[in-house]
Amino acid sequence: MKTVMPTQPANKRITNFNEVALGYTENQALTEAKRCLNCKNPLCKNGCPVDVLIPEFIMAVNDKDYTEAYKLITTTNALPQICGRVCPQENQCEKHCVLGIKGESVAIGRLERFVGDWYSENGKQIDISIPYKEKVAVVGSGPAGLSCAYDLAKAGYQVTIFEVLPLAGGVLSYGIPEFRLPKAIVKKEIATLEKLGVEFSFNTLIGRTLSIAELFKLGYRAVFIGSGAGLPNFLNIPKENLTGVYSANEFLTRVNLLNAQDDNYDTPIYIGNEVVVVGGGNVAMDAARVAKRLGSKVTVVYRRTMAELPARLEEVEHAQKEGVIFELLLNPIELIQDDKHQVKSMIVEIMELSDPDESGRRRPVGTKATKEINCDCVIVAIGTTPNPLLASTTENLEVGSKGTIIINEDNMMTSLENVYAGGDAVSGAATVILAMGAGKKASATIINSLKK
Ligand code: FAD
Ligand code: SF4
């Protein structure tokens, strides 16, 4: 059995935004590290998109040499404290751990978090001075851009990350809530990149402030696009423009970046007494749990059943324990307003499941029967697509039907010479570690091409 992760009790945590999972103590980490079999042919490594030296770092934990463990992890992973917290490990490294065949895999992510946190508290500052070679531009400071920049900087390239927002991190900063990923940790891990010499140009919208072509004119030899998939999908149902209806992106950004929940800030958010969150993914869970902490009754409306819910099981369990209600097999078809143009209820169609669709999940089919759910706030969390701006302002940058940038999977190059891309901008909304893996893969090709 995995060593249990201590958490804040549910009745306490819904009253604050502090971290829910508290992290292993040293003893808990040592107990868990002892479970690792240190296999000769470690399969867990196959599940990590950034090639973390998993058994090696766990053996260093066993030896209580946490500095060595940190060095081993950061040979390939720029953001261990972040990955240890938000990687969907059950589908990545831990899925391949042989202990998982008959019991529970080693808690690799939790150990990675322990090492990252330990080093952050006790480790020596990294002091590296690298002679700069050519300049490389990175568009977007999310996990894809950060991971690409990290490897390029370590190889001695001068990297500038161009970011439209006034702070770095992408979804790590404006999407994932504080109680899952404290922003102080995001800042600290990003500071490690700054120590490596990575520069940030904030409030710079590539495609408007500067074009990709202009970046080359400024002397950048290659460009990596990691601009994410930040454009929210909407339900496209009548009255979706009522007051009290948000995209999950807007709602989470207003809490994460603008401190909307804090009365000391002049940027409040309207949050009703009865909130309905539409969707079943991680973003829906985050929005529901934030709304709960703001004091509302929260109902998640999802058109399939619990078995098809795409969110991580751990997040669903946390949400349930915090009192979030799940109303399943329901599809919103219309919103109803009061006399102030404010949403007052949602009409939903009752669904049933048919055969599996191309995603392998059973397809929801309408029954024509409807019901009305009272609500004074609706948060729509049904996916995102890449913002079309970059593609529309960059001549000959090829994109697919859903706006995702088309690349050559072998070398991560786009339709433009020396312009590479990866992360959500290419795959559509995915995960932190897949974005990091893409950034890493692109950095390797960029380094190779610049060496020629
Ligand atoms: P992003 O993180 O979106 O970063 C892109 C950056 O580019 C942004 O900072 C944006 O402002 C900037 N940008 C965009 N266009 C331009 C431009 N033209 N010029 C300059 N800058 C630009 N994944 C997990 O693995 N685990 C989780 O628990 C998890 N939870 C999530 C919770 C929420 C609420 C959300 C929204 C997503 C979550 N994800 C999670 C998904 C994960 O965060 C994303 O897959 C990941 O952040 C994608 O990384 P990226 O670097 O491709 O893009
Ligand atoms: Fe597992 Fe993620 Fe760490 Fe890789 S980065 S070892 S996938 S937790």
> What is the chain's pLDDT, residue by residue, as a tens digit (452 residues)?
999 999 999 999 999 999 999 999 999 999 999 999 999 999 999 999 999 999 999 999 999 999 999 999 999 999 999 999 999 999 999 999 999 998 999 999 999 999 999 999 998 766 555 666 799 999 999 999 999 999 999 999 999 999 999 999 999 999 999 999 999 999 999 999 999 999 999 999 999 999 999 999 999 999 999 999 999 999 999 999 999 999 999 999 999 888 877 778 888 888 889 999 999 999 999 999 999 999 999 999 999 999 999 998 889 999 999 999 999 999 999 999 999 999 999 999 999 999 888 878 889 999 999 999 999 999 999 999 999 999 999 999 999 989 999 999 999 999 999 999 999 999 999 999 999 999 999 999 999 999 87
Are 277 and 161 members of one domain? Answer: no
Contact 376, 342 (CB under 8 A): yes
Give the torsion sign (CA, 97, 99, 104, 105). Answer: negative
Which is nearest to 394 in space by CA: 424, 423, 371, 425?
A: 425
Crossing angle of helices 108-122 and 26-33, in 10° steps, is 140
Alpha helices in 384-431 (DSSP H): 389-393, 424-427
Are 19 and 157 members of one domain? Answer: no
Which residue, judged by its Cα, is nearest atom 4 of ligand 2? Answer: 48
Which is nearest to 413 in space by CA: 404, 423, 422, 400?
A: 422
Which is nearest to 364 in space by CA: 302, 310, 316, 285?
A: 302
141 lines ligand 1 (CB under 6 A): yes
Distances (CA, A) of 337 to 50, 239, 243: 48, 8, 9
Alpha carbons 329 and 76: distance in angstroms, whole number: 43
Residue 33: CATH number of its domain? 1.10.1060.10
Question: Closest-lying ligand to the alpha carbon of 226?
Answer: 1
User: What size, in residues, is the chain?
Assistant: 452
Give the torsion sign (CA, 149, 153, 157, 158). Answer: positive
Q: Which of 380, 403, 425 is the last residue of a domain?
A: 380
Alpha carbons 85 and 83: distance in angstroms, whole number: 5
Which is nearest to 420 in space by CA: 433, 410, 428?
A: 410
Which residue, judged by its Cα, is nearest atom 36 of ligand 1? Answer: 175
Confirm whether 152 is domain-assigned: yes
Distance 230 CA to ligand 1 centre (A): 7
Q: Which atom of ligand 2 is nearest to the CA of 50?
A: 4
Confirm whether 130 is domain-assigned: no
Distances (CA, A) of 447 to 162, 166, 302: 19, 28, 45
- What's the domain range around 238? 234-380
Question: Closest-lying ligand to the alpha carbon of 435?
Answer: 1
Which residue, judged by its Cα, is nearest atom 16 of ligand 1? Answer: 227
Structure tokens at 432: 């932190």
Residue 399: CATH number of its domain? 3.50.50.60
Are 277 and 388 members of one domain? Answer: no
Which residue, judged by its Cα, is nearest atom 12 of ligand 1? Answer: 140
Are 247 and 374 members of one domain? Answer: yes
Q: Which of 122, 145, 174 is the last residue of a domain?
A: 122
Structure tokens at 46: 């196959």
230 lines ligand 1 (CB under 6 A): yes
Are 241 and 226 members of one domain? Answer: no
Q: Which residues contact 76 (CB under 8 A, 6 or more apart)?
A: 50, 51, 52, 53, 440
Confirm whether 153 is domain-assigned: yes
39 CB burial (10 A radius; 0-12, 13-18, 19+): middle
Cβ-based neighbour number of residue 373 at 10 Å: 17
Instruction: State the pairing for strand pair 158-162/199-201.
Output: parallel
Distance 66 CA to ligand 1 centre (A): 30
Are 346 and 436 members of one domain? Answer: no
pLDDT confidence of residue 125: 66
444 CB burial (10 A radius; 0-12, 13-18, 19+): middle
Alpha helices in 140-281 (DSSP H): 143-154, 171-174, 183-195, 212-217, 248-256
Are 361 and 390 members of one domain? Answer: no
**Strand, coil or helix: 443:** helix
Confirm whether 5 is domain-assigned: no
Are 437 and 398 members of one domain? Answer: yes
Q: Which atom of ligand 2 is nearest to the CA of 92?
A: 7
Confirm whether 46 is domain-assigned: yes
Residue to substitute in 72, 79, 83 for testing ligand 2 pocket (most ligand atoms within 8 angstroms of CB): 83
Confirm whether 4 is domain-assigned: no
* Domains of the chain: total: 3
pLDDT confidence of residue 132: 66
Are 148 and 196 members of one domain? Answer: yes
Instruction: State the pairing for strand pair 135-139/362-374.
Output: unpaired
Alpha carbons 296 and 245: distance in angstroms, whole number: 15
Confirm whether 127 is domain-assigned: no
Distance 92 CA to ligand 2 centre (A): 7
Instruction: State the pairing for strand pair 220-225/274-278.
Output: unpaired
Are 238 and 340 members of one domain? Answer: yes
Task: Report phi then psi at 75, rounded to 5.
Answer: -60, -35
Are 391 and 355 members of one domain? Answer: no
Q: Which of 380, 397, 423 is the last residue of a domain?
A: 380
Are 359 and 238 members of one domain? Answer: yes
Q: Which residues line ligand 2 (CB under 6 A)?
A: 48, 50, 52, 54, 77, 83, 87, 89, 92-93, 108-109, 112, 433
Encoded amino acid at 292, one letter: K
Instruction: State the pairing for strand pair 220-225/199-201.
Output: unpaired
Confirm whether 274 is domain-assigned: yes
Residue to substitute in 193, 249, 277, 432 for testing ligand 1 pocket (most ligand atoms within 8 angstroms of CB): 432
Crossing angle of helices 66-74 and 108-122, in 10° steps, is 110
Q: Which atom of ligand 1 is nearest to the CA of 170?
A: 9
